[in-house]
Structure 1
């Protein structure tokens, strides 16, 4: 009976496809922290104070060599299908699971990469489920390395990294890459090169009426919600797009506050033939906003910004492709503390990254690849290749400085 049921479902589809990617690499990651204190500190008035007895502790390096996956394309296994409903309408599904082919530990246990059902026609497409957020698309489309492996641009790395060690990415954003429980709308493809999408993701929190019955628990009312959109133009060698996303990362019902990460980015690429150029500008802003009347909030709640930019290039060489990118990010705080003499209190953390790579296509589905990358941190930024951890810094002796890594691998798609 089970076999007949499966056969019945399959026969009702116009097409059903099994697809996937198996990507494996030998990879190495390292991260170096240094003791930057030279015996000089500054008092409350900004004057230098020298400690001749201090002995600099040098540097500490962490490193590891692994058999990794997803160095060129993300390893995955998926099923997708379409049914022609007539009159230009079609129903589709897409179930895509991440796999870790290096150890086999993760298989089709979840469809966390994408799990959607949709209805499409002349009006466009309405898509329901878990999918990429509009604000993430520019990070990956305009990155020569496609946000995979050690070459992933720093904009994507920083947006997916929480410096405080908490859950989620920058500011605790759980929607930096994908959103669950979402409704998406995509413009039809016949608009002369113009394209776009809108997305709303439900927070699925319980609402109480009257409101004072709401439990006094942090992030109990709105956290998890996402609203965003992306619109662009692609024609011939030119592709450009502007995207915005607003992700609710925290809320306090009785204080009347909501924490949001607002992401705005713009990307453009142009294919000259011998070379293809990529670029992106991005800003993510963590801001606490007043949205209730239970308490009087301060006139200004400091916000934190994450600004980033990217320049990249790909160069076809026979059956191969050379890839390179340079990306940089800077954290900016909303605090306005004045600096005193030599005591620079507003040195904002920042980092930059250089990545180089080569892909050699053995066929349309199989490729060999090699990538190297290096990250340089300044003023306390702690970004690294493949999120390689820096040495334990409990005593605040060592400051994260550099991180490097490489991938040598093979990718097969089916």
Structure 2
């Protein structure tokens, strides 16, 4: 009898603890067969890739109720290159698992949320929110942002990557009638040389079928690329606006983005995306057109565009089959490829078919 009472007391205490806090393990495993051919360059690639529909990942998140409407939360999320089993850091495979997709701790309440750690740039959320492909796979909106190279021949090298470490962010509360906003400080932490500081802001309105938002990021010395044709201590600016409207039978999307690097000769790119998603059968059809305009003096003709179409077939709420076809047209000296090496002014065409499971 005594043991039973003790057991009941333990269970009751455990239940009380669980009512106050929760921890969730979550993740995605996504793999696809991809083929890309680059005209004029004499190369093509067929491979298994990770993250054609959603980035493969594993994470842990939790919330503790502190009482009085105040909560504490944490989020640790690591990317996985599911095709090799390696860790994946914002697209680059490494030898170990690192929580570089997100590593934050938060305080939440009626005032909103204060969040510390590594997270998305505030302005990046505008780009990904209005991309039919969610910035994943060969149809991704990544084609039109992060353009560090003034020639426009490559995709750049990290000035406006979608995440930053050492950030302090504030989010508006969610009860503002559809209005939302975020302000984020980026702390470089260097003691000498370029400090690498910056900030990012974003805000908008989402209610019913309409969503519209915009963002701005300013990166000071130390954030600009290591590309020596640009210099590695240049300031950088990024502006974007996006909108979508759900008509029921289809959802229309639009994004405009501009990036500048302040060097002796300013490097500047302007770009836009128009897209559409529509429920078809037991899945969703996707289509997008992206245009990249190189406005850098002396490189104005190095432009490119990308057309993508895809379909996701839902086998269940957590499992889906998908396929995407994409085509890049390069002009002038631009040589942007879906994979492999493209020739200047030539095309890059590819497809991928894959399977995604979330848990």
TM-score range relative to shorter protein: 0.7 to 0.9
> 1:111-155: CA deviations, max 9, x gaps?
0100000001011000000000012111111000001001112xx
Q: Are 2:270 and 1:303 equivalent residues in the alignment?
A: no
User: Which of 137, 142, 146 is residue 149 of structure 1 equivalent to?
Assistant: 137
Residue correspondences, number: 328
**CA distance in 2 between partners of 1:141 and 1:401 (Å):** 30
- The offset of 1:158, in angstroms, is 4.1
Match of 2:22 in 1: 15
Q: Secondary structure at the match of 1:99?
A: strand
Q: Does the 8 Å CA contact 2:78/2:87 hold for their aligned counterparts? A: no
User: Which of 402, 409, 412 is residue 347 of structure 2 equivalent to?
Assistant: 402
Q: Secondary structure at the match of 2:53?
A: coil
- The offset of 1:258, in angstroms, is 5.6
Match of 1:221 in 2: 194
Match of 2:52 in 1: 71
Match of 2:69 in 1: 88
**CA distance in 2 between partners of 1:12 and 1:113 (Å):** 28
| Residues 12/128 of structure 1: CA separation in 2 closer, same or farther (3 Å cut) | farther
Match of 2:169 in 1: 184
Q: Are 2:5 and 1:30 equivalent residues in the alignment?
A: no
TM-score between both structures, scaled by the size of structure 2: 0.86
Residue ranges of structure 2 left out of the alignment (5+ in a row): 1-13, 89-95, 225-231
Match of 2:210 in 1: 238
**CA distance in 1 between partners of 2:221 and 2:161 (Å):** 11
- The offset of 1:306, in angstroms, is 0.7
| Residues 410/399 of structure 1: CA separation in 2 closer, same or farther (3 Å cut) | same
> 1:247-298: CA deviations, max 9, x gaps?
225499xxxx96211000000000000000000111001113xxxxxxxxxx
**CA distance in 2 between partners of 1:26 and 1:258 (Å):** 39
Match of 1:204 in 2: 189
Q: Does the 8 Å CA contact 2:306/2:326 hold for their aligned counterparts? A: yes
Q: Are 2:246 and 1:271 equivalent residues in the alignment?
A: yes
Q: Does the 8 Å CA contact 2:41/2:341 hold for their aligned counterparts? A: no
Q: Secondary structure at the match of 1:157?
A: helix
| Residues 228/234 of structure 1: CA separation in 2 closer, same or farther (3 Å cut) | same
- The offset of 1:226, in angstroms, is 2.4
Q: Which moved more, 1:398-407 or 1:226-235?
A: 398-407
| Residues 354/251 of structure 1: CA separation in 2 closer, same or farther (3 Å cut) | closer
**CA distance in 2 between partners of 1:112 and 1:175 (Å):** 15
User: Which of 257, 263, 276 is residue 282 of structure 1 equivalent to?
Assistant: 257
**CA distance in 1 between partners of 2:332 and 2:352 (Å):** 28
Q: Does the 8 Å CA contact 1:200/1:227 hold for their aligned counterparts? A: yes
- The offset of 1:12, in angstroms, is 9.3
**CA distance in 2 between partners of 1:78 and 1:130 (Å):** 14
Match of 2:91 in 1: none
TM-score between both structures, scaled by the size of structure 1: 0.75
**CA distance in 1 between partners of 2:78 and 2:327 (Å):** 30
> 1:380-403: CA deviations, max 9, x gaps?
112221x4323xxxxxxx624111
**CA distance in 2 between partners of 1:183 and 1:346 (Å):** 37
Match of 2:330 in 1: 377
What root-mean-square deviation, in Å, do the aligned CA atoms of Structure 1 and Structure 2 show?
A: 2.4
Bigger CA radius of gyration: 1
Q: Secondary structure at the match of 2:86?
A: coil
Match of 1:163 in 2: 149
Q: Are 2:350 and 1:350 equivalent residues in the alignment?
A: no
- The offset of 1:317, in angstroms, is 1.1
**CA distance in 2 between partners of 1:408 and 1:251 (Å):** 36
**CA distance in 2 between partners of 1:20 and 1:85 (Å):** 27
Residue ranges of structure 1 left out of the alignment (5+ in a row): 1-6, 33-58, 208-219, 289-300, 336-344, 391-397
Q: Secondary structure at the match of 2:248?
A: coil
| Residues 348/164 of structure 1: CA separation in 2 closer, same or farther (3 Å cut) | closer
Q: Does the 8 Å CA contact 1:158/1:383 hold for their aligned counterparts? A: no
**CA distance in 1 between partners of 2:325 and 2:299 (Å):** 32
- The offset of 1:302, in angstroms, is 2.4
